A and B are shown apart, each in its own frame.
Chain A
Amino acid sequence: MADVYLDNNATTRVDDEVVQAMLPFFTEQFGNPSSLHSFGNQVGLALKKARQSVQKLLGAEHDSEIIFTSCGTESDSTAILSALKAQPERKTVITTVVEHPAVLSLCDYLASEGYTVHKLPVDKKGRLDLDHYASLLDDDVAVVSVMWANNETGTLFPVEEMARMADEAGIMFHTDAVQAVGKVPIDLKNSAIHMLSLSGHKLHAPKGVGVLYLRRGTRFRPLLRGGHQERGRRAGTENAASIIAMGVAAERALEFMEHENTEVKRLRDKLEAGILAVVPHAFVTGDPDNRLPNTANIAFEYIEGEAILLLLNKVGIAASSGSACTSGSLEPSHVMRAMDIPYTAAHGTVRFSLSRYTTEEEIERVIREVPPIVAQLRKLSPYWSGSGPVEDPGKAFAPVYG
Chain B
Amino acid sequence: MWDYSEKVKEHFYNPKNAGAVDGANAIGDVGSLSCGDALRLTLKVDPETDVILDAGFQTFGCGSAIASSSALTEMVKGLTLDDALKISNQDIADFLDGLPPEKMHCSVMGREALQAAVANYRGEELEDDHEEGALICKCFAIDEVMVRDTIRANKLSTVEDVTNYTKAGGGCSACHEGIERVLTEELAARGEVFVAAPTKAKKKKAAPVVAAEPAPAPVTEAPVAPPKMSNLQRIRRIETVLAAIRPTLQRDNGDVELIDVDGKNIYVKLTGACTGCQMASMTLGGIQQRLIEELGEFVKVIPVSAAAHAQMEV
Within 8 A of B (CB), among A66-98: none
Given A307-B12, A313-B1: A399 and B65 interface contact (C-beta under 8 Å): no
Q: How far is the CA of A323 from the CA of B126 in the complex (A)?
A: 29
- The smallest beta-carbon distance between B35 and chain A, in angstroms, is 5
Partner of A399, one of B18, B31, B62: B31
Q: Given A304-B62, A401-B128, is A325 in contact with B36 using a C-beta cutoff of 8 Å?
A: yes
From B32, B38, B63, contact of A397 by CB (8 A): B38
User: Which chain B residues lie closer than 8 Å to A329 at the CB level?
Assistant: 134
Q: Return A131 CB to nearest CB of chain B, in Å.
A: 31
Q: With A and B bound together, what is the CA distance between A383 and B138 in angstroms? A: 31
A304 to B36, Cβ gap below 8 A? yes
Is B102's CB under 8 angstroms from A382's CB? no
| A-chain residues with CB within 8 Å of residue B60 when the two chains form the complex | 302-304, 344, 347, 381-383
Contact status of A344 and B33, CB under 8 A, knowing A330-B134, A382-B59, A401-B112: yes
By a CB distance below 8 angstroms, the chain A residues around B62 are 304-307, 310, 323, 325-326
Residues B31 and A330 in contact, CB atoms below 8 Å apart: no
Q: Are A380 and B33 in contact (CB under 8 A)?
A: no
Q: B30-69 interface mask toward A, CB cutoff 8 Å, 1 = contact, 0 = none?
A: 1111111111100000000000000001111111111000
Contacts of A311 in B (CB 8 A): 13
Contact assessment for B15 and A380 in the assembled complex, using a CB-CB cutoff below 8 Å: yes
CA–CA, A254 to B39, complex, Å? Answer: 50
Residue contact A402 to B33, C-beta cutoff 8 Å: yes
Query: How distant is the Cα of A37 from the Cα of B64 in the complex, in angstroms?
Result: 58
Q: Is B12 touching A400 in the complex (CB atoms < 8 A)?
A: no
Question: In the assembled complex, which residues on chain B have CB atoms less than 8 Å from the CB atom of A306?
Answer: 62-63
B interface secondary structure, majority: mixed
A379 within 8 A of B: yes
A314 within 8 A of B: yes
**Do B30 and A380 touch across chains, with their CB atoms under 8 A apart?**
no
A324 in the interface (beta carbon within 8 A) = yes
Interface on A for B, CB 8 Å cutoff?
A: 112, 302-307, 309-311, 313-314, 323-326, 328-332, 343-344, 347, 379-383, 397-402
Flag if B128 contacts A307 (CB, 8 Å): no
Using a Cβ cutoff of 8 Å, how many contacts connect chains A and B? 109
Question: In the complex, what distance in Å separates the CA atom of A401 from the CA atom of B128?
Answer: 7
CA distance A310 to B18 in the complex (A): 18
Q: A350 to chain B: closest CB distance in Å? A: 13
Q: Which of B1-34 contact A (CB under 8 A)?
A: 1, 12-13, 15, 18-19, 29-34
Distance (Å) between the CB of A154 and the closest chain B CB? 23
Q: Which residues on the A side are within 8 Å of B65 (C-beta)?
A: 304, 307, 325
A sample of 16 more A-B contacts (CB under 8 A), given A324-B36, A325-B62, A400-B126, is A304-B61, A307-B12, A325-B36, A328-B135, A330-B132, A330-B133, A330-B134, A381-B58, A382-B60, A383-B60, A399-B39, A400-B30, A400-B128, A401-B31, A401-B112, A401-B128
Residues of B within 8 A of A343 (CB): 33-34, 36
> A304-B61, A325-B62, A343-B36 known; A380 and B18 CB under 8 Å?
yes
> Which chain B residues numbered 61 to 107 have a C-beta less than 8 Å away from chain A?
61-66, 102-103
* Contact in complex: A400, B29 (CB < 8 Å): yes
Residues of chain A contacted by B61 (CB below 8 angstroms) = 304, 307, 325
Question: Which residues of A sit under 8 angstroms from B39, Cβ to Cβ?
Answer: 382, 399
| Bound form: Cα–Cα A107–B143 in Å | 23
Give the residue name and chain of the A residue nearest to B130 (CB): A401
Q: Give every chain A residue within 8 A of B29 (Cβ-Cβ).
A: 382, 397-400
Residues of the A chain whose Cβ atoms lie less than 8 Å from the Cβ of B58: 380-382
Given contacts A307-B12, A380-B66, A400-B30, contact A328 B102 (CB under 8 A): yes
Give the residues in chain B near A303, CB-CB below 8 Å. 60
A379 to B57 CA separation, bound complex (whole angstroms)? 11
Residue with the highest number of chain B CB atoms closer than 10 Å, among A303, A326, A330, A379: A330
**What chain B residues lie within 8 Å of A314 (beta carbons)?**
13
Across-interface contacts of B37 in A (CB, < 8 A): 304, 325
A383 proximity list for chain B (CB < 8 A): 60
Contacts of A304 in B (CB 8 A): 36-37, 60-62, 65
| Measured CA separation A303–B36 after assembly (Å) | 9
Which of B105-134 touch A at CB < 8 Å?
Answer: 112, 116, 126, 128, 130, 132-134
* Most A CB within 10 A of own CB, among B38, B60, B128: B60
CB distance A307 to B63 under 8 Å? yes
Q: In the assembly, what is the distance between CA of A117 and CA of B36, in Å? A: 29
Contact residues in B for A112 (Cβ distance below 8 Å): 181
Decide if B19 touches A324 in the complex (CB within 8 Å): no
A contact residues around B40 at 8 Å (CB): 382, 397, 399
In contact, A402 and B31 (Cβ under 8 angstroms) = yes
Residues on A with beta carbons closer than 8 Å to the beta carbon of B133: 330
Residues from chain A with a CB closer than 8 A to the CB of B128 are 400-401
A310 proximity list for chain B (CB < 8 A): 1, 12, 62-63
User: Which 5 residue pairs across A and B have the least CB separation, nearest first?
Assistant: A325-B62, A306-B62, A347-B36, A382-B58, A401-B130
Min Cβ gap B36→A in Å is 4
Q: Report Cα–Cα, A259/B65, bound state, in Å.
A: 42
Separation of A130 and B39 alpha carbons in the complex (Å)? 42
Which of B31, B36, B65 has most A Cβ within 10 Å?
Answer: B36
Residues of B within 8 A of A307 (CB): 12, 61-63, 65-66
Query: Which residues of the partner chain B approach A330 to less than 8 Å between Cβ atoms?
Result: 34-35, 132-134
Complex formed: what's the CA distance from A304 to B57 in Å? 16
Residues in B with CB closer than 8 Å to A305 are: 36, 62
